[in-house]
Every structure is written in C-alpha cells, then in structure tokens.
Structure 1
Amino acid sequence: MAENSYLKWLSQTGSFWWTDSAVYKNMDDYIGNGATGATTNPPLIRRSLYGAPDFWKPYLKDINPNLKPDEKTEEIIKRITVTIAEKFLPVYKSSGGIQGYVCAQVNPALQGNAEKMFEMAKRLNKWAENIAVKIPANAAGLEVIEECAALGITTVGTVSFSVPQAVEIARRQTIGTARAEKTGIKPGQAFSVVMVGRQDDYIRDVALDNRATLAESDIIQAGTAVIKRAYGIIKNNSYRSQLMPAGMRGAYHTIDLAGMDMTMSVSANIQASLAKEQAPFTENTDKSVSGDVIDRLCRIPEFARAYEPDGMKPSEFLSYGLSQRTLSQFSEAWLSIQEFVL
C-alpha cells in the first residue's frame, strides 16, 4: 500500500473523505489511507468496467441476456456497486452507520420524472445496507430526496453546483428526516454535494465566452467560495446534512476545506497530488475566500446565480448550464455501460 500521509491526517480531523472511484483493485489502499466510503456515478462505473473487463466479467456472466437495455445497465451497476460496498461494510458497522457508504445513482435519463426516480431509488437502497442513493438536485429530484429521507434512506443530493442547490438539498433532507423520526423510522444519513471543480470549469468557460477579464487565481476559488457559503447557511440552520465537495480539480480544493465538517469526494489523481504535500498540515476551518475575489467573480452573472442563496429557484436548477452539461455526460456513460459485451 502506498501511504498517503495527508489523507491519513485529514481523516483524523473533522473531515471525512471518500474515494471518487469504482476501481476495485485500489479499494484496500484507499481504506488504508482513511477512506470511509466511495462515490460512484455512471462515468466512474464505466471507467472501472472498461478498465478491467476481465476482472468484472465473472461477476456479470450470469446476467439475463433478455433484459431490456436500462435493466441491463442497472444490473451491471448493481453488481459492481455491491462488490465495492462489501469492502466498506466494516467501516459502516464500526461507525454505527455514520460512514462506510458506497453511492448508487439513479438513471440520469429520469431527471425530470419524480415517480420513476423514487421507484428506482427504493430499488437501489435494497442492494446493500450501506448504499447511499444519489439523486439529482433539480425540482423533481428534490421531491425524491425528501421522500427517500422520510423512509430512512441515506441520500446524496448530486448534480449540484450552487449555494441554492446545496442548501435546498439539506433543507429537504432535514424535512424528510424529521418525517422519518415522527413515524418511528430510523433516519439515514444525508449528504449534499457541491461539484466545486465543475463550478470552476464553468465560470472559466463563461468568462472566456463573454471575453470577461478574470484571473485564473480567482476562477479556481469559485467552487470553494460556493461551498463555504453553503456550509455557513447549513450550519446556521442546523440542517441534518453534511456537505460533500466533489469534482475537485486540484489538491488546493481539499486543502482549502481541510478540517471542516464535510465528507470529501477525492479522486485518485487528487489523492496522488495530496501525497506530495509535506507536514505539518493545516486545518482551514476558518479560512474564507477574499471578498475582493468574490466581488470579481460576481461580475459573472452565472457565478452570482450560484453564489447568492436566492440566486436560483428549484424550478431553475435543471436548466442551469452546469446541470445539463453534467447530466448529458452521465447519460452518455449510462448508454456506454449498456453496450458492454457480457
């Protein structure tokens, strides 16, 4: 196992970290360095499946060849996810169900259909006791997040890039959790994603498209500014959710959030970058993004929409440019899983 001193240190602070990967052969290393869960999505499952087909084929060989395409994809994802979930089950048990989860995401093509997403979410929840169901943060998805939370299902609100989305995920999870307790159901855990690196990428593209002058040093703080503002609001409202920074683009994203009460989704390349960091390491719980940086970022209307708590309504979440970009990528990956030759 390659020891990662930074990640081991991070796991001893107020932060947790999950590996942003479905590559099974590396799971023991991740756990050895303090990982307490794994985030997956269709692109990550595809990468694992096509990256190690000979490893996965024995797990998939008896899949019914007469399944419909979406059923085939779901079954492939199920078998990969459940295999990874077994690795994290000891973490789940030892933490009393606070950590140790592996994500399973609803079909991205169902993004506007609350009823079908809800039915699928309930199926995914039954795959293993330590499954966290990922549901997109749009109007339909938020309905599903609340209903799942009311059933005691652990949820991860995803396809989320903004303060309004992250806060609304947390609010709906809190409402659902309270409903569960009222009916005597043991609540699940609740995670609210902010795809910090994707926010940076988007602001960079929008700035270029509008020929707006914005320094790269400002751009790479966009996602961090969003999640830190959401963090303050969620804490002030005592919402029962933990923020999950994801889609990081550099070690700086993890470092800037180190020590905060978050569960970070850290990809293999970011893990490798963090391994190069030298002790002593520093918690940045009180470090904020400069007001001057935020003022410059807010000159880009799309950032202001993401940063201001009332910048978007739930009815606008699905049409936000980043949502469509991300869901399209997830849908393409879902279709490529269908094409895998068993």
Structure 2
Amino acid sequence: MKKGYFHRVVTQTPTRFWINNVTRKEADLSLAAGAVGCTQNPSYVYKMLTNDEEKDYAFERLDKILQSVEDIDLVQETVQRDLVAAVAQKFLPLWEKSNGKYGYVSIQGNPFKEDVENILRNARFNREAGLNIMAKVPVTEDGLKAIEILLSEGIPVNATEVMGVRQALDVCDIYDRVAAGGRTMPSVYFSHITGIFDEYLQNHVSENSIQISPDTLWQAGMIVARKIRRLLDERGSEVGFIGGGARGLHHFTEMVGADCCVTINWKGTAEELIELDPPVVDRYHALVPEGVLDELLDRIGEFGRAWRITGLKPSEYEEYGPVVLFRESFEKAWSEASRIIEQRSRDR
C-alpha cells in the first residue's frame, strides 16, 4: 500500500512536517498524516473563538477563566495556554516516545508586549501547560536577550519572526554561548518565515513599481532559506531550522530534501498536499542560476538586507518590513479576540 505524501517525505528525506495553528481535530489529522511538531501563534484564540467546530468549546474555557481573571490581556493569555495545552496533550505521546526529539508545541504570546520582561513572564507561564510546550519568541533585540535567559533556564525555544540571515545567526550565537557553559541544552529551533517574506517583497515590488521577473521574485524567500541552512551546516550548529508562514504549496515542496522542518496550515496547504499526493522530489538542492540572485540583489534592496550577513542589525529587526507585516497580522487577531472577550465579560 502506498504511503501518504508526508510519510514518504519523512522516509525519503531529512525534511519534517510540522502543523500550524490547529484545532483539536486538525491536530489528530496532522499526527495521522505524519506531523512531528506544532506551532501556535497569537492569532490562535481568535481562530478558536470564531471556528464553527471549536467555538463552543473555546467559549466554555473562556467563561471558566472569566470567573477568576479580570485583566483582558491575562484572560486571553490564559485562554490561549488552556487551548494550546489540549493540543499539546495530543502531541505528548510522540514527545515521550522520541525522548523529547519530536512532539513539541510552541506558543507565542501577546504581540503588544514583546519586551524582555513580558516575554520571560509569558514563556514561563506557558511552560506550566505541559512538558512538550516550547516558548515561541520573536527574534528582535529584546527577544534575543530573552532567548538567552530562557535557554539558560532550560526552556525549549522556537525563535520566530526570522526573515534575514543575520537573525538566524544571532540565535545560533546565543545557543553556542549558553552551551559553552557546559549545561545540558534544551531543544532550540528558529523559524524562518519564508512565506511572509515573499508576501512582503511582492507588495514592495508592486508598491514601488520595481521591474523584476515574476519567476525571479518567486524564488526570493527560498534563496534566503537555502543560504541560512548552508551557513548552519558550515558551522555545525545544533539549532533546528523551521520554515514557516507558507503562502503556497511551494513553501513546503521547495524545501523537501533539506534538513529542516516546515510548518504549514492544515486547511489549504497540508490537506491539499495530501490530496494532490505529488512525487517526493529533492527540490532544496536544485541549483539557483547566478542571474536570479544577481537580479534580486540589484533590483530589491530589501532582499539584500535579508540575504547579506551584515544586512541587518539587531536594533533594526523589530521594524524590518517583513517582520512588521507578520506582527501586524498577530496584533489584529489579538485585538479582535480581546474585543470578543471584553463583550463576553460585559454580558456575564
């Protein structure tokens, strides 16, 4: 009997399938399809409160929390932890069976409170929800400081909102610095948000009337991803690579063959790949013509900032265009969930 697409990817390549922002049912489907990890982001509470299958369950959890918590942000943080904990329980057997190699579920907190103190508070709070809970922290100047502290405390980390090469290398430098102290290191990944990076560049090209081949532009995010993976291999880094923010099937299929994980949504991406059942082909090692990279560097300055090792500084990460685009989507969803929670609190 022929194996499903993701099972074949795992068998034939080092690439692994993670799932993003799932409902409980989607978590079950994803695990059956071969998922080995899960990412949840700040839009999760809004998704669950408005999902036809899950909203009754989500409001039940919300109502219980409103009985003892008044602060709206803390209510949402607690609901988020509660809802994600249920998904983490589904991945826990995989975490236990693999001795902590697989089965992590990462949580990223309030996108309006991303200073060091609040990142640490939220990460420690979420870790209470399960052994396989991983703190998801944006790679900004404050985020990097928080990541170093969390690693020194033994807390697993998914360093997210990585758009540029320098951000990924900064995470690796922190890992090496903490590991040099001789401590046993927790699992650490960074998430290169390839799809959002591509979306931002497409918008940037359109808004600024930049003349560039659509075929060249289509490859931008994957070119940065390949460079990051190559640099990690050259330094022998123990930090794991997650590709995220998929905006098309190619954000998974073009990474097949790489030693990495790729996290994708169930609806519109994972389920479609299962239905299409394409051949498992190593696309990661396909050569990129020099002319493609030259055109990107020549035409799009924002691409160069991500691709060059010295293109960005930590003080610039938070306001780098693709990072802002990603964060704004979280801020919108967090605000919408807060509005629903406030109304629910008034109606009690």
TM-score band, normalised by the shorter chain?
over 0.9
* Contact 1:244-1:265 within 8 A present in 2 as well: yes
2:201 matches 1:192: no
Task: Give, as a single letter, the amino acid of the residue that structure 2 aligns with 1:36.
Answer: V
Task: Give, as a single letter, the amino acid of the residue that structure 1 aligns with 2:220.
Answer: A
2:239 matches 1:237: no
2-structure distance, mates of 1:278, 1:110: 41
2:59 matches 1:61: no
2-structure distance, mates of 1:296, 1:48: 42
Corresponding residue number in structure 2 for 1:295:
294
Q: Write out aligned runs for 1:254-269 (5 A).
A: 254-268=252-266, 269=268
Residues 15-58 of structure 1: per-residue CA shift (max 9 Å, x gap): 21111122111211110110012111012342123212113233
1-structure distance, mates of 2:257, 2:138: 27
Corresponding residue number in structure 2 for 1:43:
43
Corresponding residue number in structure 2 for 1:104:
107
Task: Give, as a single letter, the amino acid of the residue that structure 2 aligns with 1:175.
Answer: R
* Contact 1:170-1:191 within 8 A present in 2 as well: no
1-structure distance, mates of 2:109, 2:176: 21
Residue among 189, 210, 213 paired with 2:211: 213
SS in 2 for 1:257: coil
Q: Which runs of 5+ in 1 are unaligned?
A: none
How far 1:285 moved relative to its partner?
4.3
Deviates more, 1:87-96 or 1:238-247: 238-247
Task: Give, as a single letter, the amino acid of the residue that structure 2 aligns with 1:150.
Answer: S
Q: Which runs of 5+ in 2 are unaligned?
A: none
2-structure distance, mates of 1:294, 1:252: 18
1-structure distance, mates of 2:93, 2:162: 29
2:89 matches 1:86: yes
1-structure distance, mates of 2:284, 2:332: 37
SS in 2 for 1:108: coil
How far 1:278 moved relative to its partner?
4.6
Deviates more, 1:151-160 or 1:166-175: 166-175
Q: Write out aligned runs for 1:149-160 (5 A).
A: 149-160=151-162
Corresponding residue number in structure 2 for 1:283:
282
* Contact 2:43-2:330 within 8 A present in 1 as well: yes
2:143 matches 1:141: yes
Instruction: Provide the identity percentage.
Output: 25
Deviates more, 1:320-329 or 1:279-288: 279-288
TM-score, normalised to structure 2, is: 0.91
Change (3 A) 1:49 1:260: same
* CA-based RMSD: 1.9
1-structure distance, mates of 2:204, 2:336: 29
Residues 308-340 of structure 1: per-residue CA shift (max 9 Å, x gap): 111111111111112222222212222222223
* Contact 2:165-2:228 within 8 A present in 1 as well: yes
How far 1:147 moved relative to its partner?
1.2
1-structure distance, mates of 2:42, 2:136: 11
Change (3 A) 1:266 1:117: same
2-structure distance, mates of 1:59, 1:68: 16
Corresponding residue number in structure 2 for 1:77:
80
Task: Give, as a single letter, the amino acid of the residue that structure 2 aligns with 1:119.
Answer: R
2-structure distance, mates of 1:244, 1:220: 20
Task: Give, as a single letter, the amino acid of the residue that structure 1 aligns with 2:170.
Answer: E
Corresponding residue number in structure 2 for 1:203:
201
Corresponding residue number in structure 2 for 1:332:
332
SS in 2 for 1:31: helix
Deviates more, 1:7-16 or 1:152-161: 7-16
How far 1:9 moved relative to its partner?
1.1
Residues 60-83 of structure 1: per-residue CA shift (max 9 Å, x gap): 332134420111011110110100
* Contact 1:173-1:241 within 8 A present in 2 as well: yes
* Contact 2:158-2:190 within 8 A present in 1 as well: yes
Corresponding residue number in structure 2 for 1:30:
30
2-structure distance, mates of 1:205, 1:189: 35
2-structure distance, mates of 1:288, 1:190: 29
Task: Give, as a single letter, the amino acid of the residue that structure 1 aligns with 2:177.
Answer: I
TM-score, normalised to structure 1, is: 0.92
Corresponding residue number in structure 2 for 1:115:
117
Deviates more, 1:239-248 or 1:281-290: 281-290
Task: Give, as a single letter, the amino acid of the residue that structure 2 aligns with 1:86.
Answer: Q
Deviates more, 1:267-276 or 1:153-162: 267-276
2:169 matches 1:171: no
* Contact 2:189-2:239 within 8 A present in 1 as well: yes
Change (3 A) 1:288 1:144: farther
Residues 260-290 of structure 1: per-residue CA shift (max 9 Å, x gap): 1111101121113322445542123422433
SS in 1 for 2:162: coil
